[in-house]
Amino acid sequence: MLRQVARLLTLEEIQSNEIQKLVVDMQETMRDAPGVGLAAPQVGLSLQLAVIEDREEYLKDISSDQLRDRERRPVAFHVIINPKIVEITDTKAEFFEGCLSLAGFSAIVPRASGVRVECLDERGQPETIAATGWYARILQHEIDHLEGNLYIDRMHSRTFTSLDNWNRFSKGKPIPDAAGGRR
């Protein structure tokens, strides 16, 4: 399922009780993990739907320098359906990234530092999202899931590590130091 391109949802499907319940269930699953995003293929459904939320409480143990470097700030809960990245900046940012579908691992992944996404919200209303920093990374990661891609497809393979080793050797270090010339 994770390697398939998910199918688009119709307006009727989006507004159905089934999809509305799925959104609530996915929000609970994402928070329980905890994670900042969850795509329908990650819960076994080949649908172009993802939920996103970067809660303030997730940021409390991250230094202000790291928050600034990652341009990370809270993102309110929302749903993206049938998303398309319509604009992407040329500027790249590289940070460690993980995934609920590959629990226990992390790697440095280059991503565009800014994107513009066109999608539908949970009511089926068109929406355009302009995002930079960590929020742009989350959007790209979740949209990758909807297109059958995983972060391991984009990572610098020599930086792939267990979370135990990341916590032991790389946590809190600037990316060039954490990578140790392994990119």
Residues with a known catalytic role: 142
> Which residues contact residue 17 at a Cβ distance below 8 angstroms, ignoring those fewer than 6 apart?
none
Q: According to the 3-state scheme, what is the secondary structure of 49-110? A: EEEEEECHHHHCCCCHHHHHHHCCCCEEEEEEEEEEEEEECCCEEEEEECCHHHCCEEEEEE
Q: Contacts by 147-151 with C-beta closer than 8 Å and gap 24+?
A: 147/5, 147/6, 148/2, 148/3, 148/4, 148/5, 148/6, 148/41, 150/2, 150/99, 150/101, 150/102, 151/97, 151/98, 151/99, 151/102, 151/107, 151/109
Structure tokens at 82: 């049938």
CA distance 58 to 127: 26
